[in-house]
């Protein structure tokens, strides 16, 4: 089921979402200050490419530096990505067919709100 879900996800816009996250991460990696944020966007891009069959887990030993970077992530306005995924999740959940896609957007929202200290696990 996850293979079919990933194929449908990619066809219905998941690939464009992956490209936006990936190239945004590459642009941030071009600056010295943006490298940690760029790596997190690339991590979100990998989850955005194939979200079905994966879950987002919080790491217990993430440390205080990840907390500082998560605060900077929110201060610099990257929380808007999570808000977009929340809106898209509600729009997908309106139809019964879109509920699995809504769950995928909720996973992406979880990772895009606090990306430091989270991992996508299979």
Residue pLDDT, tens place only, 26-63: 999 999 988 988 998 999 898 888 888 888 888 877 77
Q: How confident is the model at residue 22 (pLDDT cuts 50, 70, 90)?
A: very high
Mean pLDDT of 95-115: 87
Amino acid 29: pLDDT: 92
Burial classification of residue 66, based on how many CB atoms lie within 10 Å of its CB (0-12 exposed, 13-18 middle, 19 or more buried): buried
Side-chain half-sphere CA neighbours of 121 within 13 A: 7
Percent of the chain scored above 70 by pLDDT? 99
Q: Is the dihedral of CA 99, 104, 105, 111 positive or negative?
A: positive
Amino acid 26: pLDDT: 94
Q: Using a cut of 0.95, tell me whether the model's pTM lies above it.
A: no
As a whole number, the mean pLDDT across the chain is 87
Amino acid 119: pLDDT: 80
Question: What is the residue extent of each domain of the chain?
Answer: 2-121
Between CA 19 and CA 11 the distance in angstroms is 13
The pLDDT of residue 81 is above 90? no
């Amino acid at each position: 089921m996850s293979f079919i879900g990933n194929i449908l996800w990619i066809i219905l816009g998941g690939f464009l979402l992956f490209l936006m996250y990936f190239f945004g991460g590459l642009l941030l990696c071009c600056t010295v200050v943006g490298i940690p944020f760029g790596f997190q966007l690339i991590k979100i891009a990998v989850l955005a490419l194939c979200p079905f069959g994966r879950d987002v887990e919080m790491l217990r030993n993430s440390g205080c530096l990840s907390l500082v970077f998560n605060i900077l992530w929110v201060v610099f306005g990257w929380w808007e990505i999570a808000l977009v995924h929340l809106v898209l999740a509600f729009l997908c959940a309106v139809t019964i067919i879109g509920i699995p896609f809504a769950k995928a957007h909720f996973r992406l929202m979880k990772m895009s709100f606090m990306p430091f200290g989270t991992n996508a696990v299979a």
